[in-house]
Amino acid sequence: MTYTVHEIFHTLQGEGANSGRSAVFVRFAGCNLWSGREQDRDTATCRFCDTEFRKGARYSLAELIAEILTFEGPKLVVFTGGEPALQLDQPLVDELHRCYGYEVAIETNGTQAIPDVQWTCVSPKAGTQIVVRQADELKLVFPQGPGLTPEHAMSVIEAKHLWLSPMDGPQWAENVKAAIDYVKSDSRWRLNIQAHKFWGIR
């Protein structure tokens, strides 16, 4: 098994319940909801992604772990993408967790089965079939229209923490207000902020 990785870096988690925590981020290349090419955005299932994930270097399991180990200090590894569930497997998770004591987290769109990790964040997208039905965090980019409301997301995914993340773009200010209004009306949800952008880090 080899893994195609767009980038690996040490930063602070900028979102959700682990916000502010030191972590190694491993961003896998590839996604099943968008090619990553701008010319394909209008026909993609997910049209609002703001992440570059198209190209990457190949690593064996041993090479990837060795690269993660070069960062001293963090005990959390976050696998993200693109869509990390297309590549993340149980041998890699087990090696990091059992042999090196890392807590392994995944940030996924929920459309692919995932290995047994220690922390799961699902960010569902409208028009997809969700197979990951339990998570530590449900992070809903909001609003996505009638196809994926907060109530619908909750009915599909059982999660301990519920976050509304205002959709970026030209309507961002309106989306922030809509998310705030929704959280005020339903206290089960909290407003998610991409704090790393304010901190000036990745």
Enzyme catalytic residues:
25, 31, 46, 49-51, 107, 196
Q: CA-to-CA distance for 49 and 134, rounded, in angstroms?
A: 23
- With tokens 């392994």, the residue in question is 104
Contacts of 191 (CB under 8 A, 6+ apart): 163, 164, 166, 179, 180, 183
- Distance, in Å, from the CA atom of 116 to the CA atom of 53, rounded to the nearest integer, reads 24
What tokens appear for 132 in the block? Answer: 């990951």
Phi, psi of 3 (to 5 degrees): -120, 135
- H/E/C letters for each residue in 133-199? CEEEEEEEEECCCCCCCHHHHHHHCEEEEEEEEECCCCCHHHHHHHHHHHHHHCCCCEECCCHHHHH
Distance CA 82, CA 98 (A): 26
Q: Which residues are CB-neighbours of 143 under 8 A, at least 6 positions away?
A: 149, 167, 175, 178, 179
